[in-house]
């Protein structure tokens, strides 16, 4: 599947979200689902954080999880661990060498990483119900497409929207709005599944109902503005009801 796939509006199944936490909304209908990538479809966030933590420790500094989460789902324009380390140490670093070493560590740790628990089951469920799906990620196409191809997940998505496909990344709504456009679905009828505060803010700014599934990196955050919180993608299937 890709963005060239066309569907008539009448052919798209309508699904109801049951039991949302929002007090004024009992059910929310949606016609498409937009997934974040890192930390939602593949557990990449922990390995990336651990690599950054080791970089800080190598220079006698600590990188608390609640500090690092400022950049999750966005980029270093929001908050930069590089700038933070230089401020803590009072020195500049050769980031080319440090970045190369850190990337090698991340790739080595993620060599055998598979899809998140429930990812394949949820994607298959949505495919059976003819619900179009997309990925909207602040990461690069090289990173996201590489993972989707490696795990044979690319076939499950009608669109993949990444950094560079829209003017701004998360927490701005642009990536989600571009995904909705490629899915030919109004923003209010797109369900977003996220794991980060920057992603949640972006989805809400786009006017989209949002479910959050915190992971080991983001579970310390307050996601109370989400429409619903889950522990895994597998749990999402249980609250979907086809009309």
**Predicted TM-score of the model (pTM):** 0.85
Residue 150: helix, strand or coil by DSSP? helix
**What pLDDT was estimated at residue 75?**
67
Check: CB of residue 229 under 8 Å from CB of residue 211: yes
Measure Cα distances from 237 to 19, 104, 118, 124, 233 in Å.
Answer: 13, 36, 9, 10, 7
- Alpha carbons 9 and 58: distance in angstroms, whole number: 55
**What pLDDT was estimated at residue 242?**
46
**What pLDDT was estimated at residue 7?**
38
The alpha carbon dihedral of 31, 36, 42, 46 has a sign of negative
**What pLDDT was estimated at residue 21?**
43
> How many CA atoms does the CB half-sphere of 209 hold within 13 Å?
26
Vertex 107: Cα angle to 102 and 110 (nearest 5): 125
Residue 69: helix, strand or coil by DSSP? helix
Question: What counts of helices (H) and strands (E) characterise the chain?
Answer: 9, 9
**What pLDDT was estimated at residue 1?**
58
194: its two tokens: 């996220």
Task: Walk along the chain (243 residues) in steps of 10 and give the mean pLDDT of each run.
Answer: 41 47 48 97 94 96 90 73 94 94 94 96 95 97 97 98 97 98 98 96 98 93 95 90 47
What is the distance, to the nearest Å, from the Cα of residue 58 to the centroid of all Cα atoms in its chain?
Answer: 29
The DSSP string of 155-223 is GG-SEEE-TTSSS--TTSSHHHHHHHHHHT--GGGEEEEE-SHHHHHHHHHTT--EEE---TTTTTS--
- Alpha carbons 94 and 12: distance in angstroms, whole number: 52
- Alpha carbons 179 and 185: distance in angstroms, whole number: 9
**What pLDDT was estimated at residue 239?**
83
17: its two tokens: 């979200």
Q: Which residues are catalytic?
A: 36, 38
């Amino acid at each position: 599947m890709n963005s060239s796939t066309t569907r008539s509006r009448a052919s798209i199944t309508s699904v109801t979200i049951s039991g949302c936490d929002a007090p004024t909304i009992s059910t929310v209908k949606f016609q498409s689902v937009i997934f974040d990538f890192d930390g939602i479809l593949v557990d990449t966030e922990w390995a990336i954080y651990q690599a950054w933590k080791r970089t800080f420790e190598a220079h006698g500094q600590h990188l608390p999880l609640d500090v690092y989460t400022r950049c999750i789902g966005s980029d270093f324009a929001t908050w930069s661990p590089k700038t933070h380390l230089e401020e803590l140490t009072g020195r500049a670093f050769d980031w080319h060498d440090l970045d190369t070493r850190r990337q090698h560590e991340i790739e080595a740790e993620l060599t055998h990483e598979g899809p998140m628990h429930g990812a394949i089951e949820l994607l298959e469920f949505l495919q059976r119900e003819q619900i179009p799906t997309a990925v909207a990620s602040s990461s690069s196409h090289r990173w996201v497409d590489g993972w989707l191809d490696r795990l044979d997940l690319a076939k499950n998505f009608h669109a993949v929207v990444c950094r560079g496909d829209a003017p701004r990344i998360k927490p701005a709504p642009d990536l989600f709005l571009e995904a909705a456009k490629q899915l030919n679905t109004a923003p209010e009828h797109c369900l977003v599944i996220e794991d980060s505060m920057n992603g949640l803010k972006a989805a809400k700014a786009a006017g989209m109902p949002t479910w959050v599934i915190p992971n080991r990196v983001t579970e310390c955050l307050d996601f109370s503005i989400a429409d619903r919180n889950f522990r895994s993608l597998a749990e999402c299937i249980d609250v979907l009801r086809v009309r």
